[in-house]
Structure 1
Amino acid sequence: MKKIFVLAIFLLAAASGCETPQKAPPQEPAVEKKTETKEEPKPEAPTTTRDFYKSTESRVVAFADVHGDLQALRSILRATKLVDENDSWIGRDAILVQTGDLLDRGPDERAVVDLMLKLAKEAEAAGGGIIQLNGNHEIMNVMGDLRYIPSKGFEDFQDIPGEVPNVPEVARGRVAAWLPAGPYAKALATHGVIAGVNNALFVHGGVSMQVVRYGIDRLNSETLAWMRGVAPAPPQLLLAQDGPIWSRRYSEPEPSKSACDELGNVLDTLGLKIMVVGHTVQKNGATQACGGRVWRIDTGMSAHYGGKPHALDFSTDPPSVIVAE
Structure 2
Amino acid sequence: MYLFTRIPLITAVFITLSHQAMAQDSTRTTYDGPYVFYIDGDLHVQHIRDTTVHTDTLSAEMKPGLALPVIFSDLPAWNFEVPLQTELHSPPVQYAAPEKVLILSDIEGEFGAFRALLLANKVIDEQYNWTFGKGHLVIAGDLFDRGSTVVEYLWLLYKLEQVAPLDGGYVHVILGNHDIMNLSGDFRYVQPKYAAHATLLQRSYHDLYSENTELGRWLRTKNIVEKIGDLLVLHGGVSPAVNERAMSLADINASSRPFYATPHAQVPDSMQLFLGRNGLFWYRGYFAEPRASQQTVDSTLQLYGVHKIVVGHTIVDSLVTTHYEGKVIAVDVNQHEGIHQALLIERGKYYRVNEKGNRELLDPKK
Q: What's the TM-score once normalised by structure 2's chain length? A: 0.65
Alignment RMSD, CA only? 2.5
Partner residue of 1:294? 328
Partner residue of 2:45? none
Are 1:223 and 2:278 counterparts? Answer: no
Could you tell me which of 341, 355, 366 is aligned with 1:324? 355
Partner residue of 1:129? 170
1:122 Cα shift?
0.8
Partner residue of 1:249? 285
Q: Quick one: which amino acid aligns to residue 293 of structure 1?
A: K
Are 1:76 and 2:134 counterparts? Answer: no
Percent identical residues: 27
Aligned mates of 1:76, 1:158 — CA distance in 2: 33
For residues 89-146 of structure 1, the C-alpha deviation after alignment (integer angstroms, 9 at most, x for no partner) is: 2222211110010100111111111111111111122221111000001101111111
Q: 1:192-211 residue pairs with structure 2 within 5 A?
A: 192-211=223-242
Q: Quick one: which amino acid aligns to residue 53 of structure 1?
A: Q
Q: Quick one: which amino acid aligns to residue 218 of structure 2?
A: A
Aligned mates of 1:62, 1:244 — CA distance in 2: 17
Quick check: 1:297–1:310 contact (8 Å CA) kept in 2? yes
CA 1:294 to 1:307, structure 2 compared with 1: closer, same or farther past 3 Å?
A: farther
Q: Secondary structure at the match of 1:214?
A: coil
Quick check: 2:138–2:171 contact (8 Å CA) kept in 1? yes
CA 1:142 to 1:262, structure 2 compared with 1: closer, same or farther past 3 Å?
A: same
Are 1:315 and 2:346 counterparts? Answer: yes
Corresponding residue pairs, total: 259
Partner residue of 2:50? none
Aligned mates of 1:141, 1:182 — CA distance in 2: 14
Q: Quick one: which amino acid aligns to residue 65 of structure 1?
A: D
Q: 1:105-124 residue pairs with structure 2 within 5 A?
A: 105-124=146-165
Partner residue of 2:10? none
Are 1:186 and 2:227 counterparts? Answer: no
1:323 Cα shift?
1.2
Quick check: 1:280–1:298 contact (8 Å CA) kept in 2? yes
Q: 1:79-118 residue pairs with structure 2 within 5 A?
A: 79-118=120-159
Q: Secondary structure at the match of 1:145?
A: coil
CA 1:156 to 1:315, structure 2 compared with 1: closer, same or farther past 3 Å?
A: farther
Aligned mates of 1:113, 1:282 — CA distance in 2: 26
Q: Quick one: which amino acid aligns to residue 279 of structure 1?
A: H
Aligned mates of 2:260, 2:210 — CA distance in 1: 8
**Structure with bigger gyration radius:** 2
CA 1:240 to 1:224, structure 2 compared with 1: closer, same or farther past 3 Å?
A: closer
Structure 2 segments unaligned to the other structure (5+ residues)? 1-90, 357-366
For residues 167-195 of structure 1, the C-alpha deviation after alignment (integer angstroms, 9 at most, x for no partner) is: xx5xx353112234543221123331001
Partner residue of 2:275? 239
Q: Quick one: which amino acid aligns to residue 93 of structure 2?
A: F
Q: Secondary structure at the match of 1:225?
A: helix
Quick check: 1:104–1:153 contact (8 Å CA) kept in 2? no
Partner residue of 1:265? 299
Partner residue of 2:65? none
Quick check: 1:186–1:228 contact (8 Å CA) kept in 2? no
Quick check: 1:60–1:313 contact (8 Å CA) kept in 2? yes
Could you tell me which of 164, 171, 174 is aligned with 2:205? 174
Q: Quick one: which amino acid aligns to residue 129 of structure 1?
A: Y
Aligned mates of 2:204, 2:129 — CA distance in 1: 28
CA 1:87 to 1:57, structure 2 compared with 1: closer, same or farther past 3 Å?
A: closer
1:88 Cα shift?
2.7
Partner residue of 2:101? 60
Are 1:214 and 2:253 counterparts? Answer: no
CA 1:227 to 1:195, structure 2 compared with 1: closer, same or farther past 3 Å?
A: same
Q: If each structure's strand is expressed as a fraction of its own residues, which one has the higher value?
A: 2
Could you tell me which of 230, 249, 274 is aligned with 2:308? 274
Q: Quick one: which amino acid aligns to residue 270 of structure 1?
A: Y
With a CA cutoff of 8 Å and minimum separation of 6, indicate the structure with the bigger relative contact order.
1
Aligned mates of 1:158, 1:124 — CA distance in 2: 38
1:211 Cα shift?
2.8
Q: Secondary structure at the match of 1:314?
A: strand
Q: 1:8-19 residue pairs with structure 2 within 5 A?
A: none
Aligned mates of 2:147, 2:261 — CA distance in 1: 25
Aligned mates of 2:196, 2:169 — CA distance in 1: 34
CA 1:183 to 1:228, structure 2 compared with 1: closer, same or farther past 3 Å?
A: farther
1:81 Cα shift?
0.8
